[in-house]
Amino acid sequence: MNIPEVKFRTRIGDNQSIGGGCSIGGEWKDVSTNELFNKKKTVLFSLPGAYTPTCSSQQLPGYEDKYEDLRKYVDEVYCLSVNDSFVMNAWFRDQNIKKVKPIGDGEGQFTKGMGMLVNKPKQGFGMRSWRYSAFIDSGKVVKMFVEDGKNNESNDEDPFKVSDVNTMLNYLKK
């Protein structure tokens, strides 16, 4: 399966803090999936939302902590969420993430193209990504680790068993 071709609206150079949360002062920069994934081996992990418990306490920090181990096998590691670039950048700043790169899929187009867009109305989230990780080689999905129970029923389950960094590292080592 090839990854969907989309353009992500990213923010670069935002260095003026307003109210302690959002930073401004930079500019918009469109980045295509081709720019991010073409002729590269990458790990992409996707999660329901910035600033949410499992994403903030386990998944993102785990990939950051083992970034150098991952880089022995891949060119880059990306974290994607159906959040806008302002939110992703603020979350990475607040989590002190320096190595993993954020991708804000604000409209969910990439996530929809991956077949991972789900509705989470019970949590008040709306449309978000189901939790997964993927090894991608030159825009082709080689392996995906998708958490069990993918649904649009917005149940309280938020599994985190196979999209973790250790599962990905064990796969890459083989």
What tokens does 108 get?
A: 């969910």
Active-site annotation, residues = 55
- Is residue 113 in a domain? yes
- The domain total for the chain is 1
Domain that holds residue 64: 7-173
Question: In this predicted model, what pLDDT tens digit does every residue of 100-135 receive, in sequence order?
Answer: 999 999 999 999 999 999 998 778 788 999 999 999
Per-residue model confidence (pLDDT) at position 20? 66
- Is residue 17 in a domain? yes
Q: Is 84 exposed, middle or buried (0-12, 13-18, 19+ CB in 10 A)?
A: middle
**CATH number, domain at 95?**
3.40.30.10
**pTM as predicted:** 0.94
- Is residue 1 in a domain? no
- Is residue 2 in a domain? no
Closest of 131, 133, 132, 136 to residue 158, by C-alpha:
131
- Is residue 104 in a domain? yes
Question: In this predicted model, what pLDDT tens digit does every residue of 11-57 receive, in sequence order?
Answer: 998 888 777 677 888 899 999 999 999 999 999 999 999 999 899 99
